[in-house]
Amino acid sequence: MSGLRVVPAWRHGQERLYVCRPDGRNVAWYDRDTARVNLLNADREADVLHVLAPFLTGNVTVGPPPVPTPAELARLTLHPDDDLAPNRPGEALRIAIDRDPPPARRLRSDPRHRALAAETAVGDALDGLDAGGWHTLHSIGLPGGARIHHLLIGPGGLFCVRSVPARRQRVRVADPMVAVGRGRAVPLLRDLRADAGRASFALTAEVRAVLVPVGAVDVDVAAPPREVRVLLEHDLAALARAGGVLKPADIEALHALARDRHTWHRI
Protein backbone atom coordinates (compact mmCIF):
# COMPACT_ATOMS: atom_id res chain seq x y z
CA MET A 1 0.00 0.00 0.00
CA SER A 2 1.37 3.42 -0.98
CA GLY A 3 -0.59 5.33 1.66
CA LEU A 4 -1.53 7.97 -0.92
CA ARG A 5 -5.05 9.36 -1.17
CA VAL A 6 -6.88 11.52 -3.71
CA VAL A 7 -8.46 14.79 -2.57
CA PRO A 8 -10.62 16.79 -5.04
CA ALA A 9 -10.48 20.59 -4.94
CA TRP A 10 -11.37 23.60 -7.07
CA ARG A 11 -8.78 26.21 -8.07
CA HIS A 12 -9.62 29.26 -10.20
CA GLY A 13 -12.85 27.58 -11.32
CA GLN A 14 -11.14 24.36 -12.44
CA GLU A 15 -11.24 20.96 -10.75
CA ARG A 16 -8.00 19.45 -9.53
CA LEU A 17 -7.37 16.06 -7.94
CA TYR A 18 -4.56 16.29 -5.42
CA VAL A 19 -2.60 13.19 -4.44
CA CYS A 20 -1.60 13.48 -0.79
CA ARG A 21 0.62 11.59 1.61
CA PRO A 22 -0.79 10.44 4.99
CA ASP A 23 0.64 13.61 6.60
CA GLY A 24 -1.37 15.76 4.14
CA ARG A 25 1.53 16.91 1.96
CA ASN A 26 0.95 16.86 -1.81
CA VAL A 27 3.03 14.68 -4.09
CA ALA A 28 1.11 15.37 -7.31
CA TRP A 29 -2.07 16.79 -8.79
CA TYR A 30 -4.20 15.98 -11.81
CA ASP A 31 -5.75 18.74 -13.92
CA ARG A 32 -8.79 17.33 -15.71
CA ASP A 33 -8.98 20.25 -18.15
CA THR A 34 -5.40 19.89 -19.34
CA ALA A 35 -5.27 16.07 -18.87
CA ARG A 36 -1.94 16.44 -17.09
CA VAL A 37 -0.57 14.77 -13.96
CA ASN A 38 1.94 17.11 -12.32
CA LEU A 39 4.50 15.24 -10.22
CA LEU A 40 6.33 16.91 -7.36
CA ASN A 41 8.33 13.73 -6.74
CA ALA A 42 9.27 11.69 -9.81
CA ASP A 43 10.09 8.66 -7.63
CA ARG A 44 6.40 8.29 -6.75
CA GLU A 45 5.14 8.24 -10.36
CA ALA A 46 4.00 4.61 -10.29
CA ASP A 47 2.18 5.05 -6.96
CA VAL A 48 0.56 8.29 -8.12
CA LEU A 49 -0.72 6.80 -11.37
CA HIS A 50 -2.02 3.76 -9.51
CA VAL A 51 -4.10 5.78 -7.05
CA LEU A 52 -5.33 8.10 -9.83
CA ALA A 53 -6.21 5.26 -12.20
CA PRO A 54 -9.99 5.34 -11.47
CA PHE A 55 -10.07 9.07 -12.38
CA LEU A 56 -7.90 9.17 -15.51
CA THR A 57 -9.56 9.22 -18.91
CA GLY A 58 -8.02 9.27 -22.38
CA ASN A 59 -4.42 10.24 -23.00
CA VAL A 60 -2.72 11.83 -20.01
CA THR A 61 0.56 13.73 -19.86
CA VAL A 62 2.78 13.01 -16.85
CA GLY A 63 5.66 15.18 -15.73
CA PRO A 64 6.87 17.91 -13.40
CA PRO A 65 4.72 21.03 -12.99
CA PRO A 66 5.20 23.58 -15.81
CA VAL A 67 7.46 26.53 -15.14
CA PRO A 68 5.31 29.32 -13.68
CA THR A 69 4.68 32.44 -15.72
CA PRO A 70 5.71 35.88 -14.38
CA ALA A 71 2.07 36.47 -13.36
CA GLU A 72 1.98 33.19 -11.43
CA LEU A 73 5.25 34.02 -9.71
CA ALA A 74 3.79 37.37 -8.68
CA ARG A 75 0.82 35.59 -7.10
CA LEU A 76 3.12 33.20 -5.26
CA THR A 77 5.05 36.08 -3.70
CA LEU A 78 1.93 38.06 -2.74
CA HIS A 79 1.32 38.18 1.01
CA PRO A 80 -2.10 36.68 1.94
CA ASP A 81 -3.13 39.91 3.67
CA ASP A 82 -2.56 41.82 0.42
CA ASP A 83 -4.33 39.34 -1.88
CA LEU A 84 -7.82 40.45 -2.91
CA ALA A 85 -8.63 37.26 -4.83
CA PRO A 86 -10.20 35.45 -1.83
CA ASN A 87 -12.69 38.30 -1.31
CA ARG A 88 -16.28 37.08 -1.48
CA PRO A 89 -18.94 39.18 -3.20
CA GLY A 90 -19.91 41.92 -0.76
CA GLU A 91 -16.91 41.21 1.49
CA ALA A 92 -16.90 44.74 2.91
CA LEU A 93 -20.64 44.55 3.66
CA ARG A 94 -20.22 41.19 5.39
CA ILE A 95 -17.53 42.64 7.64
CA ALA A 96 -19.63 45.74 8.39
CA ILE A 97 -22.69 43.67 9.31
CA ASP A 98 -20.62 41.36 11.53
CA ARG A 99 -19.04 44.31 13.34
CA ASP A 100 -22.28 46.29 13.70
CA PRO A 101 -25.28 43.93 13.45
CA PRO A 102 -28.74 45.50 13.20
CA PRO A 103 -30.94 45.51 16.33
CA ALA A 104 -32.89 42.27 16.72
CA ARG A 105 -36.23 44.10 17.10
CA ARG A 106 -35.76 46.46 14.18
CA LEU A 107 -39.05 46.79 12.28
CA ARG A 108 -37.55 47.49 8.86
CA SER A 109 -34.89 45.25 7.36
CA ASP A 110 -31.32 46.51 7.28
CA PRO A 111 -30.61 47.89 3.77
CA ARG A 112 -27.14 46.38 4.02
CA HIS A 113 -28.70 42.92 3.75
CA ARG A 114 -30.44 43.87 0.50
CA ALA A 115 -27.22 45.32 -0.86
CA LEU A 116 -25.33 42.17 0.12
CA ALA A 117 -27.90 39.95 -1.58
CA ALA A 118 -27.54 41.99 -4.78
CA GLU A 119 -23.74 41.85 -4.75
CA THR A 120 -23.85 38.12 -4.05
CA ALA A 121 -26.19 37.47 -6.99
CA VAL A 122 -24.04 39.45 -9.41
CA GLY A 123 -20.80 38.05 -7.99
CA ASP A 124 -22.02 34.47 -8.41
CA ALA A 125 -23.01 35.18 -12.02
CA LEU A 126 -19.59 36.68 -12.78
CA ASP A 127 -17.71 33.86 -11.04
CA GLY A 128 -19.54 31.48 -13.36
CA LEU A 129 -17.57 32.95 -16.29
CA ASP A 130 -14.27 31.53 -14.99
CA ALA A 131 -14.37 28.57 -17.35
CA GLY A 132 -14.22 30.94 -20.31
CA GLY A 133 -10.92 32.46 -19.21
CA TRP A 134 -12.37 35.28 -17.10
CA HIS A 135 -11.34 36.36 -13.59
CA THR A 136 -13.48 38.33 -11.14
CA LEU A 137 -12.33 40.27 -8.08
CA HIS A 138 -14.89 41.44 -5.55
CA SER A 139 -15.21 44.31 -3.09
CA ILE A 140 -12.08 46.28 -3.93
CA GLY A 141 -11.59 49.15 -1.51
CA LEU A 142 -10.39 52.48 -2.91
CA PRO A 143 -8.82 55.42 -1.07
CA GLY A 144 -11.46 57.75 0.34
CA GLY A 145 -13.98 55.02 1.14
CA ALA A 146 -15.20 54.20 -2.37
CA ARG A 147 -15.44 50.57 -3.42
CA ILE A 148 -15.52 48.65 -6.70
CA HIS A 149 -18.21 46.00 -6.27
CA HIS A 150 -16.82 43.67 -8.95
CA LEU A 151 -13.92 43.85 -11.40
CA LEU A 152 -14.20 41.47 -14.35
CA ILE A 153 -11.07 40.69 -16.40
CA GLY A 154 -11.11 38.49 -19.47
CA PRO A 155 -10.81 38.12 -23.25
CA GLY A 156 -13.35 40.90 -23.82
CA GLY A 157 -11.50 43.42 -21.66
CA LEU A 158 -12.03 44.85 -18.17
CA PHE A 159 -15.36 45.80 -16.61
CA CYS A 160 -16.15 47.69 -13.42
CA VAL A 161 -19.52 46.26 -12.33
CA ARG A 162 -21.80 47.83 -9.71
CA SER A 163 -24.74 45.97 -8.18
CA VAL A 164 -27.91 47.85 -7.23
CA PRO A 165 -30.60 46.14 -5.10
CA ALA A 166 -33.94 46.59 -6.89
CA ARG A 167 -35.97 43.49 -6.08
CA ARG A 168 -39.52 43.77 -7.44
CA GLN A 169 -39.05 47.47 -8.14
CA ARG A 170 -38.91 49.70 -11.17
CA VAL A 171 -35.60 51.39 -11.95
CA ARG A 172 -35.38 54.71 -13.79
CA VAL A 173 -32.09 55.75 -15.39
CA ALA A 174 -31.58 59.34 -16.54
CA ASP A 175 -27.84 59.93 -16.78
CA PRO A 176 -26.30 60.47 -14.28
CA MET A 177 -29.26 59.81 -11.96
CA VAL A 178 -30.68 56.42 -11.00
CA ALA A 179 -33.89 55.97 -9.00
CA VAL A 180 -35.06 52.65 -7.55
CA GLY A 181 -38.75 52.34 -6.79
CA ARG A 182 -40.00 55.39 -4.92
CA GLY A 183 -36.54 56.18 -3.64
CA ARG A 184 -34.72 59.42 -4.30
CA ALA A 185 -32.68 59.56 -7.48
CA VAL A 186 -28.91 59.51 -6.88
CA PRO A 187 -25.99 60.10 -9.29
CA LEU A 188 -24.91 56.45 -9.43
CA LEU A 189 -23.68 56.65 -13.01
CA ARG A 190 -21.34 59.52 -12.19
CA ASP A 191 -19.89 57.53 -9.28
CA LEU A 192 -19.62 54.38 -11.38
CA ARG A 193 -17.76 56.20 -14.16
CA ALA A 194 -15.40 57.63 -11.54
CA ASP A 195 -14.70 54.13 -10.17
CA ALA A 196 -14.03 52.80 -13.67
CA GLY A 197 -11.72 55.74 -14.36
CA ARG A 198 -9.75 55.10 -11.18
CA ALA A 199 -9.45 51.43 -12.09
CA SER A 200 -8.19 52.40 -15.55
CA PHE A 201 -5.54 54.60 -13.97
CA ALA A 202 -4.44 51.90 -11.50
CA LEU A 203 -4.20 49.16 -14.14
CA THR A 204 -3.14 51.36 -17.08
CA ALA A 205 -5.85 49.72 -19.19
CA GLU A 206 -9.33 50.66 -20.36
CA VAL A 207 -12.01 49.66 -17.84
CA ARG A 208 -15.64 49.90 -18.91
CA ALA A 209 -18.54 50.50 -16.53
CA VAL A 210 -21.57 48.24 -16.06
CA LEU A 211 -24.61 48.89 -13.83
CA VAL A 212 -26.72 45.89 -12.76
CA PRO A 213 -30.13 46.56 -11.12
CA VAL A 214 -30.68 43.20 -9.39
CA GLY A 215 -34.22 41.82 -9.35
CA ALA A 216 -35.78 44.83 -11.09
CA VAL A 217 -39.19 44.27 -12.67
CA ASP A 218 -38.57 47.03 -15.20
CA VAL A 219 -35.65 49.26 -16.16
CA ASP A 220 -36.54 52.54 -17.85
CA VAL A 221 -33.52 54.11 -19.55
CA ALA A 222 -34.33 57.60 -20.82
CA ALA A 223 -31.35 57.57 -23.21
CA PRO A 224 -28.28 55.37 -23.53
CA PRO A 225 -26.00 56.56 -20.72
CA ARG A 226 -22.53 57.77 -21.56
CA GLU A 227 -19.85 55.06 -21.20
CA VAL A 228 -22.06 52.81 -19.05
CA ARG A 229 -23.91 49.61 -19.95
CA VAL A 230 -27.05 48.75 -18.00
CA LEU A 231 -27.64 45.00 -17.74
CA LEU A 232 -29.87 42.73 -15.69
CA GLU A 233 -28.12 39.95 -13.78
CA HIS A 234 -29.28 37.25 -16.22
CA ASP A 235 -27.73 39.23 -19.10
CA LEU A 236 -24.22 39.27 -17.62
CA ALA A 237 -23.25 36.19 -19.62
CA ALA A 238 -23.30 38.47 -22.68
CA LEU A 239 -20.06 40.02 -21.42
CA ALA A 240 -18.34 36.65 -21.84
CA ARG A 241 -19.20 36.58 -25.52
CA ALA A 242 -17.04 39.63 -26.09
CA GLY A 243 -13.51 38.70 -27.14
CA GLY A 244 -10.50 39.71 -29.12
CA VAL A 245 -9.39 42.45 -26.72
CA LEU A 246 -6.94 40.75 -24.35
CA LYS A 247 -4.62 37.80 -24.86
CA PRO A 248 -4.34 35.12 -22.13
CA ALA A 249 -0.96 36.42 -20.98
CA ASP A 250 -2.38 39.96 -20.68
CA ILE A 251 -5.36 38.67 -18.71
CA GLU A 252 -3.12 36.88 -16.23
CA ALA A 253 -0.81 39.88 -15.85
CA LEU A 254 -3.72 42.28 -15.23
CA HIS A 255 -5.32 39.86 -12.80
CA ALA A 256 -2.05 39.55 -10.86
CA LEU A 257 -1.78 43.35 -10.71
CA ALA A 258 -5.43 43.91 -9.75
CA ARG A 259 -5.47 41.36 -6.93
CA ASP A 260 -2.62 43.15 -5.12
CA ARG A 261 -4.11 45.50 -2.53
CA HIS A 262 -1.22 47.93 -2.95
CA THR A 263 -2.20 48.54 -6.58
CA TRP A 264 -5.24 50.47 -5.37
CA HIS A 265 -3.47 52.52 -2.70
CA ARG A 266 -1.84 54.88 -5.20
CA ILE A 267 -4.95 56.22 -6.92
Identify the pLDDT of residue 13.
54
Encode pLDDT of 162-190 as tens digits: 999 999 999 999 999 999 999 999 999 99
By mean pLDDT, which of 8-22, 90-104, 217-231 is the weakest?
Answer: 8-22
- pLDDT, greater one: 41 or 118: 118
Q: What is the distance between the alpha carbons of residues 186 and 252, in angstroms, rounded to a whole number?
A: 36
Identify the pLDDT of residue 42.
82
Identify the pLDDT of residue 57.
85
Identify the pLDDT of residue 71.
64
Position 12 pLDDT exceeds 70 = no
Nearest to 12 by CA among 40, 36, 31: 31
Tell me the mean pLDDT in the region 195-224: 93
How sure is the predictor about 1, in pLDDT bands with cuts at 50, 70 and 90?
low
Encode pLDDT of 142-154 as tens digits: 999 899 999 999 9
Identify the pLDDT of residue 49.
93
By mean pLDDT, which of 36-40, 130-134, 239-243 is the weakest?
Answer: 239-243
Tell me the mean pLDDT in the region 223-245: 89
Identify the pLDDT of residue 167.
93
Identify the pLDDT of residue 106.
62
- In this structure, what are the phi and psi dihedrals at residue 181, rounded to the nearest 5 degrees? 60, -130
Identify the pLDDT of residue 75.
63
Identify the pLDDT of residue 218.
94
Cβ neighbours of 44 (radius 10 Å): 18
Average pLDDT value over all residues in the chain: 88
Identify the pLDDT of residue 107.
53
Identify the pLDDT of residue 116.
96
Top mean pLDDT of 48-62, 74-88, 242-256 is at 48-62
- pLDDT, greater one: 126 or 204: 126
Tell me the mean pLDDT in the region 227-246: 88
- Could you tell me where the beta strands, DSSP code E, fall in 112-241? 135-141, 147-154, 157-165, 170-174, 177-180, 207-214, 218-221, 228-230
Ramachandran area for residue 106 (φ above 0: left; ψ -120 to 50: alpha; else beta): beta
Polymer length of the chain: 267
Q: What is the distance between the alpha carbons of residues 38 and 18, in angstroms, rounded to a whole number?
A: 10
Position 26 pLDDT exceeds 70 = yes
> Order of strands across the sheet with 14-20?
5-11, 14-20, 26-31, 36-39, 61-63
Q: What is the distance between the alpha carbons of residues 99 and 186, in angstroms, rounded to a whole number?
A: 27
Identify the pLDDT of residue 68.
62
> How much of the chain, in percent, has pLDDT values that exceed 90?
58
Encode pLDDT of 83-140 as tens digits: 999 999 999 999 998 888 877 666 567 889 999 999 999 999 999 998 888 999 999 9
